[in-house]
Every structure is written in structure tokens, then in C-alpha cells.
Amino acid sequence: MLPPGSQTIVIMKQLLLIFTILFSAPALFAQTNDIKTEAFKVEGNCNMCKKRIEKAAFVKGVKRAEWDKESHVLNVVYRPSKTTATEIAKAVAKVGHSSEKLEAAEADYKELPQCCQYKTHSCND
């Protein structure tokens, strides 16, 4: 048998543990729901384009950005609470690469190296 008052302490500790678990569980589940994967076409030609597109796509909230040179598809994994696919497309367009979501401004496109100017199809890479 426990000394007087000890049983109350044990019960209080158990209740504290139960409440801690109950109130922290929703936060854990909310974090897993805050990840989204999206793919969209982005114009480009070469490995320099790949590096530029992936770097531009890596805005705050993006966990992974990978552009495939053959298919011209940019795959992004991001947190919708921090950014959107449109914001990612804007960042990519700002460095001169048009996507199915957003056309790059002509001035930004003209800043690309000659090899990366995808409208001319002049790259051999």
C-alpha cells in the first residue's frame, strides 16, 4: 500500500501524461498534411537551365525541386502554408524560364545565356 497522498500524485502524473498525448497528437498530424507535391512543365534546354530553374524554384517553403531536362517537368515538394505553386512559377519566370503556369517576361528571357534561350532551339547540350 502506498503512503497517504502518493496515490494522488500517481494519478495526477498519469492524467498529465494522457493530456500531453491528447493535445500534441493533432499538431503531429497537421505537420504531415502540410506537404504537397506538384509537377509542371518549364521551358529550358540544358544543364545550366536545370541548375537555374531548380535554384529559382527553391523559394521559402520548398523542400525539393527537380527539373528533368528531357521531359521539361519541374517536380516540387513544398509546404502550402509557406508558398504556392504559382509563387514557385513566378520565381522561375523571373530568371527567364516560362512554364505552363506563367510566361516569363521578354526582358528576363533575353537575360538568359544564348544556349539557354529555348525559343531559338540553338543549344546542343
Q: By the 8 A CB rule, do 90 and 103 touch? A: no
Q: Are residues 5 and 54 in the same domain?
A: no
**Residue-range definition of the domain harbouring residue 18:** 1-33
CA dist 18 → 8, 9, 10, 12, 115 (Å): 15, 14, 12, 10, 62
Residue 124 lies in a domain: no
Residues 13 and 68 in one domain: no
Q: Do 46 and 101 have their domain in common? A: yes
Average pLDDT over every residue of 11-23: 75
HSE (CB half, 13 Å, CA atoms) of 69? 12
Q: What are 49-104's pLDDT values in tens digits?
A: 999 999 999 999 999 999 999 999 999 999 999 999 999 999 999 999 999 999 99
The rounded percent of the chain whose pLDDT value lies above 70 is 86
pLDDT of 112 above 70: yes
- Residue in this structure with the C-alpha cell 519541374, named with its chain if needed: 74
Predicted confidence at residue 118, as pLDDT, reads 92
Same domain? For 71 and 44 the reply is: yes
Residue 42 to residue 51: CA distance in whole angstroms: 13
Q: Looking at the structure, tell me whether residues 52 and 86 fall in a common domain.
A: yes
Residues 43 and 79 in one domain: yes
**What is the number of domains present in the chain?**
2
